[in-house]
Amino acid sequence: MAHPHSHSSSGSPVAIPEDKIAQKATLGGTLMHLWPYIWPGDRSDLKMRVVWAIVLLIAAKAATLIVPFTFKWATDALTGADTAPIEPSNWTLWLIASPLALTASYGLVRALMAVLTQWRDGIFAKVAMHAVRKLAYRTFVHMHDLSLRFHLERKTGGLTRVLERGRLGIEVIVRMVILQLVPTIIELSLVMAVLLWQFDWRYVAAVMVTVVFYMLYTYKATEWRIGIRRRMNDSDSDANQKAIDSLLNYETVKYFGAEEREAKRYDKSMRHYEDASVATYTSLAVLNAGQAVIFTFGLTATMLMCASGVRNGTNTVGDFVMINAMMIQLYQPLNFMGMVYREIKQAIIDIEKMFAVLSRKPEVEDRAGAKPLAVEAGTVRFEDVKFAYDPARPILKGLNFEVPAGKTVAIVGPSGAGKSTISRLLFRLYDVSGGRILIDGQDIRSVTQTSLRAAIGMVPQDTVLFNDTIRYNIRYGRWDATDAEVEEAAKTAQIDAFIKASPKGYDTEVGERGLKLSGGEKQRVAIARTVLKAPPILVLDEATSALDSHTEHEIQGALERVAQNRTSLVIAHRLSTIVGADEIIVLDQGRIAERGTHSQLLAAGGLYASMWNRQREAEEARERLALIGDDDSPVRKPEIDDDLATSAAAE
């Protein structure tokens, strides 16, 4: 398979569209990719299961072919044909060859065929599901290894669909190809051999012509039906989307008296769905009818030849019955070929999309021989650091600063100045374009990513929690922590009282993304999580900018306690939160415009002083509105303050 990503002249990966991946996907290529998982080199038990499944597959198909023979023998015995398979010379042999015994053997062989087939499926299920699990696991791990750039370019829902559809695609390939298509090919080959042995080449030719026309018709009709089916699915999705949209906006519909308009929109979509559904069922009828007609011609041709042989005395009535039974048995798997083709085609596309993700090289990787980060003091140093998400638009343009061990350095500046980029580079979510970042003299690109991130604690602006309990989310900071340590971290973050006041305490569910908690409560959980991690280096990335002033003051006290005796890098939006920093660095357009303490920067009267004055004016305005009783006064959002800061910089 060609790699799903090429490289531009700059060396950055260029994604190939998924439709191109679908065009390149083939059944053979997909099976080659899957084979290491179906035949794993480290699992001899699974290999034996594959071998036994093949043995049982052949045995089941042999039993399938014996069924028509037992039917023939029983028929010949009942009609007293001279060509009975066994000429009894004594009572025992006569009993075995009696019509009743042969009829019973017909039932026994059919039962054996069913048992062998189900036994094969049961043995192979372990192999198939192991392949599904291993490949899904590998893809899941690889998705976490891929860079932040990759995840920002893709929708999370899209990635989970790639994982889910790829997993289901493997199951389809295994079920359809190995348990449906391959057995059908084996059975067809055995039928040809039996027809040549038991009858003559004319029967083989008739069946071959029938199968060729049958498969060509199935292919053409299925391709036609795929387009119709896609239109039906699109119409269904459109109708469903309009229904959801209208019901979610129930009040708006009522406000504007638009019930009839919404009903017409929905009915229009449902009319398209109705037409597409009728076409789908009609096309299915055409497919089934055509398959039945083609196969019936082939069946009739072989039976006419056999009937002629019966009249001429070269065949028996049992042969006539056998050819009918053999063809009917062959029709059953052939009848599923349209569905098999459609399912395999979609599964190949889904699996190749999964392999496309797997083949994408992570942007940030550990160097060969990378050693764990050894943190002694915790000094962080940026030396001539340059970075650009897009080479045409540089973000950082040669930053030089140091965060001494145990000190707090704040980074401020207008929106787009590159503040949050600094924290991402420190975490190695991206690698610097130029310069280097050192921790205790060690270039962070020369140490392992795991050890680097273990040494840094992050409290982000937007805290997203797992849909689990408060205890689970706090313990995420250090998985081996005891319950007592979790509760101690919660006390430090000043959330212990809230948790204990909840009916379920630490076992309270926080909801998806933590939506059952307020912004302040989520931030405290994030602080407790970082306290539990106990990192020597702390990064606060606008940790309070999304909160109201009252909650911000409460959270700020907890943050200051956490930052004590730790090397702290604070990326701040609200300047009031960093007045006590040991040094404040003011960024503007990717460069350091000013640096110093709060009082020094105010005295300088530059960009920082302008930003400070604008924010103070905004706070005083809010306070005046509160004093005159305007409880509904709008609270200025962070992005508005950013605009103020930007305008201050322009002045």
Is residue 110 within 8 A of residue 36, CB to CB? The reply is: no
Within the chain, what is the greatest distance between any pair of CA atoms?
122
Separation between Cα atoms, residue 530 and residue 59, nearest integer Å: 61
Placement of tokens 């039996």 in the chain: 194
CA distances from 259 to 251, 266, 270, 320, 485 (A): 11, 11, 16, 67, 57
Whether residue 21 lies inside any domain: the answer is yes
Separation CA 186–CA 333 (nearest Å):
11
Same domain, 192 and 205: no
User: What gap in Å lies between CA 572 and CA 586, rounded to an integer?
Assistant: 10
Task: Based on the fold, state whether residues 186 and 228 are members of the same structural domain.
Answer: no
CATH number at residue 124: 1.20.1560.10
- Count other C-beta atoms under 10 Å from residue 360's C-beta: 19
Specify whether 218 is located in the same domain as 245: yes
- The pLDDT, as a whole number, for residue 546 is 54
- Give the CA angle between residues 26, 279, 272 to the nearest 5°: 105
CA distances from 299 to 76, 286, 331, 487 (A): 21, 20, 9, 77
Which among 420, 381, 424, 645 is positioned nearest to 542, based on CA atoms? Answer: 420
Cα–Cα distance for residue pair 537/563, rounded to 1 Å: 9
- Token look-up 């924010």 returns 615
Q: Which residue pairs from 37-43 have beta carbons closer than 8 angstroms and sit at least 24 positions apart in sequence?
A: 37/130, 37/131, 37/134, 37/135, 37/170, 38/127, 38/128, 38/131, 38/174, 38/178, 40/130, 40/134, 43/130
Do 213 and 191 fall into the same domain? no
How far is residue 149's CA from residue 167's CA, in Å, rounded to a whole number?
A: 25
- 496: in domain: yes
The DSSP call for residue 365 is -
Report if residue 330 sits inside a domain: no
Say whether 419 sits in a helix, a strand or coil.
Answer: helix
In whole angstroms, give the CA distance from residue 109 to residue 101: 12
Give 10-residue mean pLDDT values along the chain (651 residues): 39 41 61 75 79 84 80 75 48 55 78 85 81 80 74 61 74 75 79 82 87 86 79 79 81 81 86 86 86 87 86 81 82 75 75 77 81 87 87 84 88 79 86 88 88 85 80 85 86 81 83 72 82 85 64 68 80 80 86 88 87 78 65 41 37 34
407-425, pLDDT tens digit by residue? 888 888 877 777 788 888 8
Please identify, among 523, 540, 571, the residue that sits at the C-terminal boundary of a domain: 523
| 111 and 230 housed in the same domain | no
Place of tokens 């067809």: 188
Sign (positive or negative) of CA dihedral 611, 616, 622, 628 = negative
Is 125 in the same domain as 188?
yes
| Number of residues that make up the chain | 651
The tokens describing 150, both together, are 């990759």
Take residue 208 and report the two structure tokens written for it: 């071959």
- Tokens 């998806």 -> residue: 512
State the pLDDT at residue 642: 41
- On whether the CB atoms of residues 291 and 338 are closer than 8 A, the answer is yes
Distance of alpha carbon 466 from alpha carbon 373, whole angstroms: 28
For residue 193, the enclosing domain spans 1-7+16-199+339-362
CB < 8 Å & 24+ apart, contacts of 309-317 = 309/199, 315/199, 316/72, 316/75, 316/76, 316/79, 316/81, 316/83, 317/75, 317/76, 317/79, 317/81
pLDDT in tens, 505-524: 888 888 766 677 777 778 78
Judge whether 266 and 242 are in contact, CB under 8 Å.
yes
33 and 174 part of one domain:
yes
Would you say residue 48 lies in a domain?
yes
Name the pairing type of β-strands 567-571 and 537-541: parallel
**Among 339, 351, 344, which Cα is nearest to 35's?**
351
| Gyration radius of the chain over CA positions | 36
pLDDT at 239: 83
Domain annotation covers residue 418: no
182 shares a domain with 56: yes
d(CA 434, CA 419): 17
Retrieve residue 480's tokens.
């081996």
Instruction: Name residue, tokens 């083989």.
Output: 204
Domain boundary among 274, 298, 314: 314
- The reported pTM is 0.61
Number of domains into which the chain is organized: 3
The reply to whether 254 and 108 lie within a common domain is: no
Rounded CA separation 587/26 (Å): 52
Kind of pairing between the strands at 583-588 and 591-596: antiparallel
List, in sequence order, every residue forming a beta bridge with 608; answer none if it has no partner.
Answer: none
Q: Is residue 307 part of a domain?
A: yes
179 and 270, same structural domain? no
- Please report the DSSP string for 156-208 in residue order: HHHHHHHHHHHHHHHHHHIIIIIIIIHHHHHHHHHHHHHHHHHS-HHHHHHHH
Name which of 315, 288, 158 is nearest 225 in CA terms.
288
Residue 413 lies in a domain: no
Which of 271, 169, 282 lies closest to 224 in space, CA to CA?
Answer: 282
pLDDT (tens digit, 9 = 90+) per residue, 598-638? 888 888 888 888 888 887 777 777 667 766 655 444 444 34
Same domain, 194 and 211: no
- Can you tell me which residue has the tokens 């059944």? 27
What is the C-alpha end-to-end distance of the chain, expressed in Å? 57
Residue 460 near residue 526 (C-beta atoms within 8 A) = yes
Residue 191 near residue 334 (C-beta atoms within 8 A): no
Helix (H) or strand (E) holding 118: helix 99-145
Report the C-alpha gap between 315 and 470 in whole angstroms. Answer: 80
168 and 70 housed in the same domain: yes
Residue 592: alpha-carbon gap to chain centroid: 41
Quote the CA–CA distance of 117 and 336 in Å, as a whole number: 17
Instruction: For the beta carbon of residue 478, count every other beta carbon within 10 angstroms.
Output: 18
In the prediction, which pLDDT does 147 show? Answer: 67
Question: Rounded to whole angstroms, how far apart are CA atoms 650 and 648?
Answer: 5
Residue 165 domain-assigned?
yes
- Chosen domain end from 474, 499, 523: 523
Kindly provide the residue ranges of all beta strands, DSSP E only, lying in 338-475, ordered along the sequence: 380-387, 396-403, 408-412, 434-439, 442-443, 456-459
